[in-house]
Structures are given as C-alpha cells and as structure tokens.
Chain A
Amino acid sequence: MTINWQLLMPELIIILTFILVAIFDLFNSIQKTVAAWLTIVGCAIALYVSIDMLQVGMEGTEFSNMIQVDKYSLFFNVIFLVSTILVVLISMNYLGRTDRRQGEYYLLILLATLGMMLMASGNELIVVFLGLELMSLSLYVLAGYFQRSMASSEAGMKYLLLGAFASGFFLYGIALIYGGAGTTSIPKIASAITVNATSPLLLSGMFLLVVGFGFKVALVPFHQWAPDVYEGAPTSIAAFISAGPKAAGFAAFLRIFLEALQNIQSEWIVVVTILAALTMTVGNLVAIAQRNIKRMLAYSSIAHAGYVLVGLAAANKDGISSAMFYLLIYCIMNIGAFGAVILARTEDGESLMISDYAGLGFKKPLLALFMTLMLLSLAGFPPTAGFVGKFYIFRSAVESGQIWLVIIGAINTAISAFYYLRVVVAMYMREPEEELDFHPYPSLLIVALTLAAIGVVLIGILPSYFLSPAQISTFL
C-alpha cells in the first residue's frame, strides 16, 4: 500500500513542527520564544502549502477512504492556520510576563490545530471523533493553563466535564448511526440512507450528533460552558477556543449533515432552524446584560455561531460557501477583538470591565481604533468584513426560503449593535471614572492586530476575492 503523502502535506508539516518544538523545549538554555516562532513558521508553511494545494485543486482520499482531502478541507485548513498564527502572535507578549516554560502551550496549540484539520478532512465519523477529541483534550488543558489562577483551573474543569459529557453523546450518536446505516463512512451513509427508510436508530443517532456539535460550537441550549470558560481561560486561549475550534466544529457539522445526512434533510432542518434562531436571540440578549468584556465577547461568539448555523439551515450550496466565508471573517475579527482586550492591560492585570474602557479613545487611540474596527465588524457595519459575511449568509437563507430566520437574524443584528456600540461609545464619549495605568503596547500584539485589521477591511472592500474560493470549495 502506497500512501500519497503529498495529499497530507499540511498535516505532516504541523506534526513535524510539533516534534521540533517538543525537542527544542527539552533544552532549558534556549530562549522561550523559540517555541513560538517555530510554531508560527510551521503554521505559515502549512498555510502556504494549503493555499497552494487549494489553487492547484489537489483532491483525493487516503488511508482507505478515511481522510478526504478536497478544496473544502483545504479552505478550512486556511481558516485554522490563519487563526492559529494570529493566536500565537497575540500569545507571545501575553505569556511573556509569566516565568514558566512555554513549550507545552504551543505544543498543545499545534495538537489542537491538527485535530481541527482532521475534523475538516475526516471522511469517516470515527476520524471526525478522533479529531474532535484531539482538539478538545488539548483545549481542556489550555483553558486551565494558568494553574495558579483559580478562574483558569475552574474554567478547565468545567470545560472538561461538560466537554466529555457532550463527547459521550457524540460517540453514542455515531454508534447509533453505525447501527442504522451499517457504516460510518460519510459517502456510504449517504447512499445507505433513503428518505423513506429511516430507522429510529438513525434518527436518534443523527440527533445526538446535533447535540455533540451543538456543544462544540456552543449552540443554545448547549452553550453555557462558553462564557465561564472564556472568562476563566487565558485571554489568548479564549480567542483560540472561540475561533478555530468553532470553525472545525462547523466544518464537520456541515459535511456530515449536508453530505451523509442530506437525504433526510427534512428531518433535521426544523431542529437546526430552531437552534439557529434560539442561539442568535439568546446569545445577543444575554450579551447586553454583561459587564465583563470577555463574557460579552463569549455571548457574542455564541450569537455568531447562530448566524453561521443559518447557512446550514439554508442547506444549499450558497449556504455552505457563505458559512465558510463567514467563519473565515469571524475567526479574524473575533481574535482581533480578544487581542484588543489583551492590549488593554493594566498593572493589576487585564482590565476586563466595560467601564474600564471609558475615555480610552483619546488615551490609547491605537487600541481604541483596533477595538472599534473589530466591534464594528462584529456588529456587521459596512464596509467591514462582518457586513459582507452576514449579507451572504442571509442571502443564501432567503434563496432557500428561510425568510423568518432571516428576519430574526436581522433583528438580532440590530440588537447586537447595541452592546458592541456601547463599548465604542464608552471609549470615545465617556470620561474615565478612575485613572488606570495601562501598559505600553507590546509590538507583536500590534502586528497581530494590524494583520487582523487589514483582513477585516480588505475582505470588507474586496469580498469576491475571498468568497469565490469558498464558492468553488463546497463539497456539494
């Protein structure tokens, strides 16, 4: 049996990077930042290779059809790798103050990234499960990475218990689908299922998969872990969890439901629609009531998962491509927003209360500018990327007749502007209550934020350059 290693190049590069970082980490004498730079270089090479493969259009299956490399998985590789690079960039200065060795931090990030890539290219439910677990187990540790912080440990434990619980449902769902369809291979399930011959086994299995994915991408009512974990976890990890893993969850979610379970679309579309509406609404409503900016961003990211789910509810080719496009935008702007939170550090640690941001517009203009840009994009104002992303998502839903969902989405967008703009208003129009002593800007964080800002503006102005790769990369 020969294996076409070329097909797995991005994954192999990540594994190689992992080994290199692990080896370098053994030597205490080497500077701490080497691990981070190695990670960035490895991810950048993998990103370059993925983009190259995407342009060439390299496709194929490997390992007895268990891995399916196609444009869809490569597009998601791009999303994951971009997120990882941005996260590593915002992490370096953030971790710089702690005196711990940091090799394991980047090792875990690399493992999680590998897990995400497996999820996107899994052609087999078990591979998806393995990818999911590889990603989740790394994230549990990362969430509890600040061992000396009570909040971080608590976040890790909550994430672990709830995540493992949801994994149990996910696995049981796979088992039931295995029983109902007689196979766990995604294309074979699709051909095994016909509209009329649905067994309760299959339906229950399908439903349990919704629960499992619903947890990973934080859909209401499976979302409650998210705010606590985001608040407690290191901010850079909150950015990481909110971006790549969510995209990976959707990558597998879309592929399984629109390929394997496409024939029983009528069975799941109602549930997905309800979940989307519920997620958008609850996410945005509760975000309004938040005072801690990390929790606010957590609820906002819940709401954004709802918007992406609208793409799945549209259940057409445009729905998939617009969801992919939106996830790319979402990852960039959300990491950017968390990066801006890291930027606002004081001597006492991070300033997380929204009231702390009062008057920052004039005291820290660059920080305020980045924050404003990211929040405007999250709120979906033209001409930022957030606007075009939402535009295409909602348009795909209109095309498939989900008018009500679009109306709910539009109302939610209006509600969300309220809490995003509140921060902007605080920054530019309020006087600070107390003088906070902010740290000077760390340079790498500025680099990361500049990249994110360029991304947000560029995609907003030239959407077609980014949308058309998504449009030709759908699996339908």
Chain B
Amino acid sequence: MSKDLITLLLISPLIGFLINGLFGKWLKNVSGWIASLAVLIPFIISAFFVFPAVRGGGELKAMLYEWIPIESLNIGFHVDALTTVMLLVITGVGFLIHIYSIGYMSHDSGRARYFAYLNLFVFAMLILVLGNNYLMMFIGWEGVGLCSYLLIGFWFDRKSATDAGKKAFIVNRIGDFGFLLGMFTLFAAFGTLNFDQVFGLAETNTYEQVFGASTLIVATLLLFIGAVGKSAQIPLYVWLPDAMEGPTPVSALIHAATMVTAGVYMVARSSILFNLAHTGVVVAWIGVLTALFAATMALAANDIKRVLAYSTVSQLGYMFVGVGVGAYASGIFHLMTHAFFKGLMFLTAGSVMHALSDELDMRKMGGLRSKLPITYWTFLIGALAIAGFPLLSGFWSKDEILHNAWDSGHQIIFGIGLLTAFLTAFYMFRLIFVVFHGESRVDSEVESHLHESPPVMWIPLVLLAIPSLIIGAIVGWGGEHSAIHNFLKGVTGFVAHHGKAEHSNPVPFMIISSIVGIAGILVAWFIYRSKTPVSEPTNPLHKLLANKYYVDEIYNAVIVQPIRGVSHYLFWKIMDVGIIDGLVNLTAFIIRGIGGSIRRLQTGVVQAYVVSMVIGIIIFLGYYLFIR
C-alpha cells in the first residue's frame, strides 16, 4: 500500500511531463492545469507521510523495482521524516508556483514546453529526495540540473538566457564532479552506496581505509563540493544570479525554494558521515562567508531579481551554517521557512514585472504600493520574514541557527551571522522602499496599463504569505522541544552538538536578533524613505559592490581564458586532432577496410552464395568427421 503511494507520488509528475511533452501542442491553456494537478497529487500523498503511521513507524522503505540485479543499481526509495519535510516543500510550494505560472505564462506560446519541463523538474527532485542510495540521489541531482539548464534557457532566442543556462550547467558540472568523486570514494570504502549500509558501516568503523584515516574526511569534502555547486556557495555561486534569466516562477521554484537547497539536504542526509569526519566546521565557515559576501552584493544591486538571487545565496549560506555546526534540524527548518518566504518574494517580483511589462530595474519603479496592493502586502510579509522580524517564520529558524552556532562554540560565525542578519534586513527594506514607496519613476507608457495581477496569480501569493507569517511559530515554538525538532529527531537528532552539551537560554538570542533585524529595517527607512536611488555608483566601495567584487571578471581572466587557451592548443590541436583523432581514424579505416573487403564477397550471384555456404559446410563437416 505505501509502496503504491510512493509509485503514485513519483509517477504523477512524470505523467504530467509526458502529457504536456507529447500532446502539449493541442492542450492550449489546459496544460498548466494538468501540470498543477500532477504536483497536487504528490502533495496530498506527502501530507499523509507527516503521520508516522503511514510511514510504518519511523521510516518507510520500498524497493520500487529491480532494474538489473546489481545491488547499487536498483531503484529503491525510502521515506523518513527528513524526506517528508523535503517532499512537502517541493510539492507544496511547487504546486502554488505551478498555479501562479498558469497566469504568468498565459501569453507565452511555449507554455506546454514550459510546464513539461516544470513537471520533469518536480519528478527529478522527487527522485533526489526519495532515493535510498547516493546513486539515485545523483540521478535526481543530474536531472534537476538538466531541467534547471532547460528552464534558464527557456527563452532561447535571448542570447543572455542561453549564456546563463550554459554558465549554470558548466559551473554545476564542477560541483557534480566533486559529488561523483565523493561517491566513488564511498563506494571504494564501503562497497555500497545504500544510505543505511554506508551509515551503519561508518558508525561501526568497518570499512576499507581508502585514504587511510582521512577516508571519511575526503569523502565528505568531495560530497560537499557537489553541494557547493548545486547550492551556489563560495566559490561556485556565480551561476545563480545569472540564472535569473529564466521565467520568474522558475527562479522561485528551482533557484530559491527547492533545487538549490539540494546541497543542504545532501549534507543533512549524510549527517552521520559529517559528524564522524568532523568536517562540519568547513561547511559552516563556507556557509557564513557566503552569507556575508552575498548580502553585501545585494546591497548595491539594482535588478529586483538579482537582489533576491543574492539574498537566496546568502540564506543558503545560513542553512549551511546550521547543518555545519551540527544543528541539522535547524538547517532544514530554515530551508523550509526560506522556501515559503523566498518563493513568495520571487513570485511577487514576478507580479511586479508582470505589471510593469517585464521591467527589472528598481530605479524605474517606485510608488507601486497603491497600484499593486496585494503584491505590496505579500511582499512586505516576505521581507519581514526574511529580516527576522519577531514571531514571523524567518525569525525562528534564523535565530535557531545563530543560537546553535554560539552554543557549539563558533562565536565568530555567530558574529558574522548577526552582521549578515542586519544587512539582510537592510537590503530587503531598501528594495521595498525603492520599489513600493516614494515617487513613481515608471515610464508613462508603462504606467498607463499598470494593473494588479489576475486571481490565478495573487491567490498563490496569499497562500504563500500565510505560512511565511505563521509556520515558524507553529513548528518552531519551544526550541529543542518544538514540533520540527521532534519530527526530525529520528533522522538528525543524534550528536546535535559536539561542543557544549548544555543549551544556553534562547531568549537573549531572540532579543538580540530581533533588535538587529529591526535596526536594519530602520536604517533602510532613514536612507531610502524618500531618496531616489543614485543611477551610477560614485564611491569606490559602492562601485566594488555594484560590480559584484569583479568575481566574474576574475574567473574569466584566471580560469576561463587560460583553460580555453590550453584546451585549444594543447588538447585540441595536438592531443585531439593529432593523436587521438589519428588513432581513431586509423582504427575506423582498418575496420572499414575489412568490412569493405568482406562486402566484395557479396557478389549478388546466387551461386556465389551457395559456394560460400558449401565451403562453410565442408569445413565444419571436416571438423566433425576427422579432426574432432
């Protein structure tokens, strides 16, 4: 029964993909509703998984089917509390974004293709979180990467879109390569990729010491490289801001709520390995540095989606701090709240773009509050949530992460995290004041048909705003004894802290982070309340930030160009054309020569064929009668 549930859960987005992919041409507007239904069904099933009874106590394991009888190639799934949280986020937020897309994409001729990709993405993401081994996870991992590439470059007639798609693809390949090597290391060490077996063997210390005592360290760090690529952390974050070339709902679903959090999920899933290898501290440091770095870049960005993209990178950094310091449940908690409020903010940004004929530049907005009331209020809720305004969802999860960072003895990380929280509140409210308050700077032509979005778009906004407001309080109230911690206890509860065993009192931390968040909002109010943003940066620091620390330029000069040079001259001209092609051509030439000469035996004359048959017969008969 539960196996059938998983099958249905998994297969319904696949069917949606097939229907839209094959018959999309004839479906017109129906395609969006089919796609939405294909995500609604898994959401309902996932909701059942919240009850442990459906999962058969703690964990549901199901071998879906045996593809080929080799252990690690088989397609098996398991559902536990961690998977359930991910499933709810993917299908819940995913469903609302699908609905929103019906309105957003209603004028696009390629919408069937769009919904087909979107369903395929959900399918791949479900495989990623449902798989019971690293190989399945990797298949899903590559699948979501492919869909992300396809959707970033969805408007393939825009060069910037295809370039961004390629950039995402290539940068992700670096990460995937790390994941792959990590997987090989695990397989060499454990002889299996099945989660249960790997973790069991790791805990009892019975595995092949491929790299001596540091086997697990190597394996976890390689896996983490994969997470860095997928979740856009330093130094591989560069693809995510560019990925905003895709349709905005895609940015909301893939590049904010779900796919980019796959890295966090992977670290949380491998929590046992990270604990044993003590590599969490690397994760936490990368995370906190990314959080700060991305937040500073968001300060100077003028493109509304880029601000949100940097904010996503920054918040992902927070999640890594959480899982890095051993507070896995807190990291996943933040993942969940972030999916709601960041998905919400992306969709409201899309709503703004929709109203302003695809305008992205915040300098050409302003005063939209009265024109787009629903958009404004929902965005405000999202911004308050991310800024850590007391009692909203982001407040609970962010505070938990900072609190745990302090408790586990990482005071510097705590400090940087707090600074980032201030910056986050600041840049978010800078965005609000510039876009929604003040004087209107909208082009008059655009202003004439300024309109609030249709219900199919604003209803999902409202539905996302509600959890952004209250979900944190509901599942996060009570710190260590909150609903989310209880729920995730079975998966990530052990070794929550390797530093102090005792928990300090959470109330001072809550007060501090509330003050910091509100301070950020107030500072933004003072500066941007009425001021028109400058069009060109003048002071050097602003210039540095606006140019994103010149990281893209540095990567281009230091990595891309030299590799291109080396590959062009050394690998292509000499190795490939000269040596490898030569060998390949020689082999092909010989094979073709043999084929050609045998071919000449085929003369077309019946008797020639008879002769070759008879010769064959005589040889074999001779073998039987005399040689044998």
Contacts and interface: CB of A to CB of B under 8 A. Distances in A.
A380 to B, nearest CB: 13
A464 B623 contact: no
A204 B609 CA distance: 22
Mostly helix, strand, loop or mixed at chain A's interface?
Answer: helix
A161 B610 CA distance: 9
A207 B624 contact: yes
A162 interface: yes
A464 B65 contact: yes
A37 interface: no
A56 to B, nearest CB: 25
Most buried by A among B588, B616, B621: B616
Contact of B68 (A166, A169, A391, A418): A391
Interface in A315-341: none
Interface stretch (A99-107, A129-137, A222-230): A222-230
A442 interface: no
A158 B606 contact: yes
Contacts of A305: none
B123 to A, nearest CB: 13
A221 B592 contact: no
Nearest to B593: A289
A95 interface: no
Interface stretch (A46-54, A187-195, A280-288, A425-433): A280-288
Contacts of A461: 67
Contacts of A290: 599
B249 to A, nearest CB: 27
Contacts of A391: 68
A172 to B, nearest CB: 11
B588 A227 contact: no
Contacts of A353: none
A286 B625 contact: no
User: Which of B65, B594, B595, B601 counts the most A-chain CB atoms under 10 A from its CB?
Assistant: B595
A462 B599 CA distance: 38
Task: Give the bracket for the number of chain A residues in contact with chain B.
Answer: 35 or more
B604 interface: yes
A169 B610 contact: no
B439 interface: no
Contact of A221 (B68, B595, B612): B612
Chain B's interface: helix, strand, loop or mixed, by majority? Answer: helix
B621 A204 contact: yes
B591 interface: yes
A203 interface: yes
A270 to B, nearest CB: 8
B219 to A, nearest CB: 26
Contact of B617 (A211, A224, A282, A463): A211
B613 interface: yes
Contacts of A370: none
Interface residues of B, number: 30
B609 A162 contact: yes
Given A158-B606, A225-B609, A285-B595, A464 B616 contact: no
A466 B609 CA distance: 38
Contact of B65 (A166, A224, A388, A462): A462
A89 B67 CA distance: 31
Interface centre among A166, A210, A224 (most CB of B within 10 A): A224
Interface in B578-618: 588, 591-592, 594-596, 598-599, 601-602, 604, 606, 608-610, 612-613, 615-617
A162 B606 contact: yes
B550 interface: no
B615 to A, nearest CB: 7
A289 B596 contact: yes
Contacts of B601: 224
Contacts of B616: 211, 221-222
A200 B595 contact: no
B156 interface: no
B358 interface: no
A417 interface: no
A150 interface: no
Contacts of B211: none
Contacts of B609: 158, 162, 224-225
Contact of A200 (B594, B606, B625): B625
A210 B620 contact: yes
Given A165-B610, A200-B625, A227 B595 contact: no
A288 B68 contact: no
B66 interface: yes
Contacts of B615: 221
A224 B623 contact: no
A215 interface: yes
Contacts of B596: 289
Interface string A162-178: 10011001000000000
B522 to A, nearest CB: 58
B325 to A, nearest CB: 41
Contacts of A286: 595, 598-599, 602
A285 B594 contact: yes
A203 B624 contact: yes
A271 B613 contact: no
7 contacts: A161-B606, A169-B617, A204-B625, A211-B616, A289-B596, A388-B67, A461-B67
Given A207-B620, A286-B599, A463-B68, 6 more contacts: A165-B613, A200-B625, A204-B625, A267-B628, A285-B598, A464-B66
Interface of B: 65-68, 588, 591-592, 594-596, 598-599, 601-602, 604, 606, 608-610, 612-613, 615-617, 620-621, 623-625, 628
